[in-house]
Structure 1
């Protein structure tokens, strides 16, 4: 095995370990803090998330991807971007610092100014570690990012929980975020020990910006749309509703998003290797498509069924208003992987412009749906999101399937059984008797759901079940060796 291949395999393992370990730690920390603080306090920080996310995009301006994509990066390239990031980070912070009162006025929350001016420090803090992270990725040294992510998540979790128990309220969430980004940046600096040259080359920046500009614009649009519901809810509804929505969205994203991200990362290079073999490519795509839904559909249906006892057990009674939002978002989470996997085909056949067009059209549909549903309430807005996703999924499957001569009907046939079986088992589980203990209800429902789903899948001889058994067998063989 070549050295680069060993590095790549090791990198993937460490990247997955670091990503999901940190995610798991942050999830547990969020649950603990949510049991102490109120939805309103979570909502206040939720209102600022979009500004931090957008600031981070403008801070980086796509330069990280440009540097990673560039085969030969000189010290001048790295140093130029490093100092540019620092300057931009400070300027962005100053802009946000003086804009904080206007943001607070927009949301009719005077206290938001103080929280914003502290939490926006995340942007200049991150500017000090961006280049170190680029070097780590170029060297495929993902063990370093894994350790940084895991340690910073643990450290910031201790800070956040400690402050929450000490009665700091919203400041506990601010402290958690500041300590997360500060410790991660510090760990990047310590691990890489890279020192920039005191130079800025306008020529190097211009070359990189030519590549990074489109990436930055695409990221700005996607990030804005990802946070648009929190923005709209914060403006037209009570702040506590932002807290409920954010918590519901976070639970949904951890559940469906985790599986989707793994599949997207693995499926693209797997499909790319067989682009010159149409029959194999079509079969591999259908297999990936079906296997993903085999896992995602039952998971999301099950979570919909046990949402109330699950939220009550993990977050206490005060978070129960988030349950309807979570259940609707679970439907969205069930559909999203089909949309995302079809995007891989556009990338595979270098249909980048069409991907940008169809993604923009999806965003436009979402904005229109918000406009027509906002007066009916948050639940109707989320149902509008689901409807937009259904429409875009059908359009995408129709167009992307044509690239590999795969009809819409064939694609729907490959996944429909999983949705049908999940729905039928979900109805059964939903009407099961409930116990006095919420955790007992969730566990009992889970055992029944998994048993029935796997049993029906086995007798129906579904491809997803066959893939699961093959994977389980390979794991057992490796353990025996």
Structure 2
């Protein structure tokens, strides 16, 4: 590793306020990446989807093991801490890493400045999280949550550093490499969770998992990039004032989105108790796992690619449709399986003590159904530098969903979940479409081509399987039931692809790229 923050092979140089005179600035120069952008993004997205599949397999295995070692009431203790942890994670970087991806020009001094500012925000956020411990114990009437808050705060600092290095790698379109680092870090965290759960640590095994995963990923990122910041005395805050403005809205939006995501958890904890919180949180995690493991990694290609094309509306529209359509090839069939196979999924992944989560998981399939459109629109607005409208949209979502979830909680856990999901599908998604059309080159026609038609088809397939197929399969073993739904879903979507020339061409292109990466396959066609 080169000293004083140089990437491998970069010569040493004094830091200066003027970026171009520092040879280390070459590490952040992405001017050459616009050439062959389509091929680069295509290859990266294929690798990312493959890595995401590996992550999902690993996480499903982890869920199957930990769910049998940690019952709902114990898992609920850990779940009660997650809303505040999520907010602290958003506060910890103040949106600054995203500025590294979105800005056209970044220097070593810019990155150094953002690193130390990022770290300062992270330490403050971790201290704030630990300071909330006693208050959280009183709100939830659960003293066991107090030490959880204080210990898990350490993970916030590690996560902030991971975010900085991840932004640097995404800027250089080294997204697959970063996703591999995350995979390895999560594998380390899962190993820690399983070992400590077997030792009887209960919910503390989940706390240890959170800390170990972030720490391992941070160390790997530092080693792989070879980049270290200059000392904090070299920072030049005035050079990144625009990043503070942009990042402030990104951070605010991130905080609001986390509050939205965990509003149900917090309300369930306050209104319905730890056991209900555990059921709800497990269902949310299962329903959100496919979009999280597919759309979040793909954001590493979405945002840099769309950012590089923000001055070319036609190219940006084509790239948007291409990226969303590719994500839908996986997400829409998965949404069908989650909706139609909620019962066998819970039986297989969580076990019989968690079967009350099955109707919740059915409604959570909407998270996967809307994921590509919702997240893709968000990434397009972000890539266009319009973080302020996203912030106010998230503020609107938080107010609306918190009200809906709170009112619906009086009618039980399933009613609360259904109200939340239907609000996201029928109200907040159309608002996101209007926002993207207003602030980006994306048009309604782009959105229709990329996602809406497929969403209608997906709902129809799920409804048909639930009404006509599940009655025949429900008495079979859960694994056979789920396998039958999987085969039918695969055949239906394969037929849809075969009948659509545009989708068929895209799938064949993906397969050619995959084949080209196999031994002896040669280079993928451009």
What is residue 230 of structure 2 aligned with on the other side?
196
Out of 302, 307, 314, the position equivalent to 2:342 is: 307
Deviation at 1:35, TM superposition (A): 1.4
Matches within 5 A, 1:205-216: 206=241, 208-216=243-251
CA pair 320-467 structure 1, distance change in 2 beyond 3 A: farther
Out of 461, 472, 492, the position equivalent to 1:432 is: 472
CA pair 184-229 structure 1, distance change in 2 beyond 3 A: same
CA pair 301-121 structure 1, distance change in 2 beyond 3 A: same
Out of 174, 177, 187, the position equivalent to 1:154 is: 187
What is residue 94 of structure 2 aligned with on the other side?
61
CA pair 419-293 structure 1, distance change in 2 beyond 3 A: farther
Instruction: Please give the alpha-carbon distance, in whole angstroms, between the structure 1 residues aligned to 2:324 and 2:195.
Output: 44
Kindly provide the CA deviation profile for residues 155-185 of structure 1, in whole angstroms up to 9, marking residues without a partner as x: 2211110111111111111111111112222
Instruction: Please give the alpha-carbon distance, in whole angstroms, between the structure 2 residues aligned to 1:85 and 1:408.
Output: 35
What is residue 360 of structure 2 aligned with on the other side?
325
Deviation at 1:270, TM superposition (A): 7.6
Aligned length: 477
Contact residue 173 and residue 300 of structure 2 kept, 8 A: no
Structure 2-normalised TM-score?
0.76
1:390 and 2:426 correspond: yes
What is residue 71 of structure 2 aligned with on the other side?
38
Deviation at 1:391, TM superposition (A): 2.8
Out of 136, 159, 163, the position equivalent to 2:196 is: 163
Structure 1-normalised TM-score?
0.82
Matches within 5 A, 1:83-98: 83-98=116-131
Instruction: Please give the alpha-carbon distance, in whole angstroms, between the structure 1 residues aligned to 2:159 and 2:188.
Output: 17
CA pair 425-274 structure 1, distance change in 2 beyond 3 A: farther
Out of 463, 472, 476, the position equivalent to 1:423 is: 463
Deviation at 1:412, TM superposition (A): 5.9
User: SS in structure 1 opposite 2:472?
Assistant: coil
What is residue 450 of structure 1 aligned with on the other side?
490
Contact residue 173 and residue 301 of structure 2 kept, 8 A: no
Matches within 5 A, 1:132-151: 132-142=165-175, 144-151=177-184
Matches within 5 A, 1:273-312: 296-312=331-347
**285-294 or 236-245, which deviates more:** 285-294
Out of 147, 154, 158, the position equivalent to 1:125 is: 158
Query: 5+ residue gaps in structure 2?
Result: 1-30
CA pair 443-58 structure 1, distance change in 2 beyond 3 A: same
1:441 and 2:520 correspond: no
**195-204 or 342-351, which deviates more:** 342-351
CA pair 304-414 structure 1, distance change in 2 beyond 3 A: closer
Matches within 5 A, 1:242-281: 242-261=277-296, 269=305
Contact residue 297 and residue 422 of structure 1 kept, 8 A: no
Matches within 5 A, 1:352-371: 355-371=390-406
Out of 178, 194, 197, the position equivalent to 2:211 is: 178
1:47 and 2:83 correspond: no
**407-416 or 81-90, which deviates more:** 407-416
Instruction: Please give the alpha-carbon distance, in whole angstroms, between the structure 2 residues aligned to 1:282 and 1:86.
Output: 36
Contact residue 425 and residue 453 of structure 1 kept, 8 A: no
Instruction: Please give the alpha-carbon distance, in whole angstroms, between the structure 2 residues aligned to 1:397 and 1:146.
Output: 29
Contact residue 401 and residue 408 of structure 1 kept, 8 A: no
Deviation at 1:465, TM superposition (A): 6.0
Contact residue 87 and residue 258 of structure 2 kept, 8 A: yes
CA pair 416-464 structure 1, distance change in 2 beyond 3 A: farther
Instruction: Please give the alpha-carbon distance, in whole angstroms, between the structure 2 residues aligned to 1:300 and 1:172.
Output: 30
User: SS in structure 2 opposite 1:174?
Assistant: helix
Instruction: Please give the alpha-carbon distance, in whole angstroms, between the structure 2 residues aligned to 1:214 and 1:282.
Output: 24
1:239 and 2:274 correspond: yes
